[in-house]
Amino acid sequence: MYKPADASGPAQNVPVPVLPEVAKTESKEGAEAFTKYWFSVLSYAYETGDTAELSKLATPDCSFCRGLVDDIEAAWADGKWVAGGKIEIPAATAKPSSDGSTQVILQVLQKELVIHNRDGSPYQDKTAATNTGSVAIVKFVDPGWVVGDLGLIR
């Protein structure tokens, strides 16, 4: 049974995100479904410290993506763990570009996040919950979509 992380320890039995069938298609709906899936994998990585799938779903030159992976790995290093940080995407709209990529505009909600030390004490001040507009640049490269860039809408 799923148990969220708290000061006594990391999350347990975190459900693994499943790629929806439509996210395997080279379409506007596929781009939107893939991008929502990518954020569910990011949320999973925060909860578990497992960044393997997250790393596979981005191009090597996505520096923002690499930064997220590095930050999550640092948050989980030396016996630390993350509580909170769950991400939800209530809205996503894809707009194909002339260069073959697709821009996906998203609303990203992330819950408050706390990194705990091995003894359960807070590693640093908690990170407040956020509600941001973001843009993901995705591209369909056989066998599926990848994230090429991410950014906040300011």
Which pLDDT belongs to residue 55? 95
The model carries a pTM of: 0.95
Answer positive or negative: Cα dihedral of 113, 63, 49, 32: positive
User: 74-132, pLDDT tens digit by residue?
Assistant: 999 999 999 999 999 999 999 999 898 999 999 999 999 999 999 999 999 999 999 99
Distance CA 72, CA 65 (A): 11
- Element containing residue 70 per DSSP (H, E): helix 63-75
- Element containing residue 48 per DSSP (H, E): helix 28-48
Answer positive or negative: Cα dihedral of 115, 84, 41, 95: negative
Residue 124: HSE in the Cβ half-sphere, 13 Å Cα cutoff: 10
Instruction: Find residue 145's DSSP bridge partners.
Output: 140
